[in-house]
Amino acid sequence: MYDINKVREDFPILSRKVYDRPLVYLDNAATTQKPLCVLDAMREEYLNVNANVHRGVHYLSQQATDLHEAAREKVRAFIGAAKTEEIVFTRGTTEAINLVASSFCEEMMKEGDEVIVTDMEHHSNIVPWQLQANRRGIVVRHLPFDEKGDLCLDQLEQMINERTKLVSMAHVSNVLGTVNDVKHVTTIAHKYGIPVLVDGAQSTPHFHVDVKELDCDFFAFSGHKMYGPTGIGVLYGKEEWLERLPPYQGGGEMIDKVSWEQTTFERLPFKFEAGTPDYVATHGLATAIDYISALGLDQIATHEQMLTHYCMEQMSTIDDMRLFGTSAHKDAVVSFLVGNIHHLDMGTLLDRLGIAVRTGHHCAQPLMTRLGISGTVRASFALYNTKEEIDILVNGIRRVSQMF
């Protein structure tokens, strides 16, 4: 049984008040709250273990290294990767995508070569490619989505040509909530020998991801969106790809031998991890993985699906409600506008009722342009949200609507 009250006790912040009202935290796609076990694990490491990792011969350094490398193994198992060599720690999804954009383009792409993204990408899967377009003259193409917010996958094959070198796509849209059919994309792309990068920022918190099943070549995600600390993320890459790509940043930890004449690089995954890693955050991330694994990702998914369906159902009873993203494959994100009420006004007034939602373009301006709007209000759910909180949201929206 999924005991929501017990789950909520693990997150003390959820019982605080804002403006003298109980906090209703529905901005989980931006970042999730952290359970006590994650905070405790990180405090304990700073208190009793802290030492720089990998090179130290002393006891504390070895203990910190063991925790850091155990976290890598935990992440490997969590996403079903074959080897820990394929798990690169980064600062987050953004850095992971920038790493691939920089190293992949350097090694694999020439002027005029093309990368295909989609119309529903977060800026972090658009701008790194545009930077490469400016620097190297690569071309960024984008696959459209339909009225419901489903990708027009039937157009993908027509977009592929001999200049296409990579497909890079969101697993789950942070605005529409659409869960994209990655397996379908990898099957098509691989027919032409084209690798696929998946932005998993919004999928890893919500359902079980298996990179071998998806058969993606790269997969990026962030710790802070799945109950772990900020500042830590992961790039998974198939070993054969990571071997082929040049390093992203240079510095300590990523080298084998350095001389004025020639420098050689460390083996995987260290080749891509220049500088002191955030070894306390990796331990925090591993603890978050333990936490969600103990609750069970399938149970979490069922709970959040229930919340998403309930929310969509309740929202559609509100006058002048416009819901963005009505795909049958939708997850934990509800984006909306009511009548002519500006998203910022709606968000600000909901905030006064204790309800934390996101407003604006959600770092997806091309998606907003495609929808012909400047932004939405977005409610996004986590494992600790309740039906009662959705009732408070829906009543809050009704109350705000009546003010206009």
Any idea which residues carry the catalytic annotation? 363
Q: How far is the CB of 280 from ligand PMP (least distance, A)?
A: 18
Burial 18-41 (b: 16+ CB within 10 A, else e): eeeeebbbbbbbebbbbbebbeeb
Nearest to 227 by CA among 26, 38, 42: 38
- The answer to whether 169 and 199 are in contact (CB under 8 A) is yes
* Six-digit token string for 5: 């009250």
Contact characters 198-227, ligand PMP, x per CB under 6 A: -x-xx-------------------x-----
Q: How far is the CB of 90 from ligand PMP (least distance, A)?
A: 8
Q: Which is nearer to ligand PMP, 105 or 170 (CB)?
A: 170
Q: How far is the CB of 113 from ligand PMP (least distance, A)?
A: 23
Q: Does 182 bind ligand PMP (CB under 6 A)?
A: no
* Six-digit token string for 311: 């929310």
Could you give the angle at the alpha carbon of 259 between the alpha carbons of 66 and 245, nearest 5°?
60
* Six-digit token string for 378: 């977005």
DSSP 178: B
Q: How many residues bind ligand PMP (CB under 6 A)?
A: 13
Q: Does 277 bind ligand PMP (CB under 6 A)?
A: no
Nearest to 329 by CA among 311, 305, 362: 305
- The answer to whether 123 and 178 are in contact (CB under 8 A) is no
Q: Which stretch binds ligand PMP (CB under 6 A): 1-9, 10-18, 36-44, 196-204?
A: 196-204
Nearest to 350 by CA among 403, 311, 313, 303: 403
Beta carbons within 8 Å of 370's beta carbon, 6+ residues apart: 119, 144, 145
Contact characters 65-104, ligand PMP, x per CB under 6 A: ---------------------------xxx----------
- The answer to whether 268 and 251 are in contact (CB under 8 A) is no
Q: How far is the CB of 152 from ligand PMP (least distance, A)?
A: 19
Q: Which stretch binds ligand PMP (CB under 6 A): 1-9, 195-203, 243-251, 260-268?
A: 195-203
Q: Does 122 bind ligand PMP (CB under 6 A)?
A: yes
Q: How far is the CB of 176 from ligand PMP (least distance, A)?
A: 11
Q: Does 278 bind ligand PMP (CB under 6 A)?
A: no
Q: Which is nearer to ligand PMP, 54 or 91 (CB)?
A: 91
* Six-digit token string for 82: 């074959």
| Look-up of token digits 């976290």 | 71
Q: What are phi and psi of 269, to 5 degrees?
A: -90, 0
Integer Cα distance of 320 and 197 in angstroms = 38
Q: Which is nearer to ligand PMP, 201 or 390 (CB)?
A: 201
Contact characters 23-62, ligand PMP, x per CB under 6 A: ------x---------------------------------
Q: Does 174 bind ligand PMP (CB under 6 A)?
A: yes
Q: How far is the CB of 332 from ligand PMP (least distance, A)?
A: 11
Q: Which of residues 141-170 bind ligand PMP (CB under 6 A)?
A: 170
| Look-up of token digits 């694994």 | 293
- Residues in contact with ligand PMP by CB under 6 A are 29, 92-94, 122, 124, 170, 174, 199, 201-202, 222, 363
